């Protein structure tokens, strides 16, 4: 209650709380994307209802529900599709989040390559954007991809086998 006395989490409060879970990485960029996905009414704050819905989906939701939330996170501009730039932004944010500070430069190149490979594999109709269906199908058909792209739901994910690291 002392962290958000109004019952709402601001973007800055959310980032400060989330950073505590990843003390060795840089959490800010990733947190921005997670915050946007959780803030379903685009108010700039996460109210208690939005918070509970997001926690429920990420901890106990079906793989499809988790992937719908992940899709919202990856769709940075909210146009209903994911382009290669959006994919790269999120994958880079994930790498920043879990990498040690000293690993950041090497991880940047690896993240860009990984994002491009993932995007090309998922873009079944080669139109340069991922639809929600292409994103969900691509993740459901590849366990490692599912783990990587739903990084925000890593805590409490009991619906999909073992957890994998980026190096798997």
Q: How far is CA 159 from CA 50, 100, 145, in A?
A: 22, 28, 15
| Domain membership flag for residue 166 | no
In 20-168, the DSSP E strands lie at 45-47, 82-83, 129-130
Is it the case that residue 135 has pLDDT exceeding 90? Answer: yes
pTM over 0.85: no
Range of the domain at 91: 8-153
| Domain membership flag for residue 138 | yes
Instruction: Using alpha carbons, select from 103, 92, 107 the residue that is nearest to residue 33.
Output: 92
Domain CATH for 95 = 1.10.238.10
Share of the chain above pLDDT 70, in %: 83
pLDDT for 101:
59
Contact between 147 and 160 under an 8 Å Cβ cutoff? The reply is yes
> Which residues are registered as beta bridge partners of 10?
45
Is it the case that residue 111 has pLDDT exceeding 50? Answer: yes
| Domain membership flag for residue 93 | yes
| Domain membership flag for residue 87 | yes
| Domain membership flag for residue 159 | no
| Domain membership flag for residue 65 | yes
pLDDT for 167:
42
Q: Which helix (H) or strand (E) holds 10?
A: strand 8-10
- DSSP letter (8 states) at residue 44: S
Q: How far is CA 98 from CA 2, 23, 153, in A?
A: 28, 9, 14
| Domain membership flag for residue 140 | yes
Structural domain tally of the chain?
A: 1
| Domain membership flag for residue 77 | yes
pLDDT for 26:
81
Higher pLDDT, 159 or 75: 75
pLDDT for 56:
84
**What's the pLDDT tens digit per position in 68-106?**
989 999 999 999 999 999 999 999 888 888 776 556 667
């Amino acid at each position: 209650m002392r962290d958000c006395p109004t019952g709402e989490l601001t973007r800055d409060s959310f980032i400060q709380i989330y950073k505590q879970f990843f003390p060795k990485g840089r959490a800010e960029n990733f947190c921005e994307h997670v915050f946007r996905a959780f803030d379903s009414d685009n108010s700039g704050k996460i109210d208690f209802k939005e918070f509970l819905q997001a926690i429920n989906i990420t901890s106990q939701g079906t793989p499809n529900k988790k992937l719908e939330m992940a899709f919202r996170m990856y769709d940075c501009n909210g146009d209903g599709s994911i382009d290669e730039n959006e994919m790269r932004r999120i994958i880079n944010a994930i790498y920043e989040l879990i990498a040690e500070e000293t690993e950041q430069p090497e991880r940047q190149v690896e993240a860009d390559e990984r994002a491009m490979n993932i995007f090309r594999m998922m873009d079944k109709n080669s139109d340069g954007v991922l639809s929600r269906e292409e994103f969900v199908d691509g993740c459901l058909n590849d366990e490692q991809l599912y783990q990587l792209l739903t990084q925000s739901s890593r805590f409490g994910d009991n619906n999909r086998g073992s957890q994998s690291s980026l190096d798997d």
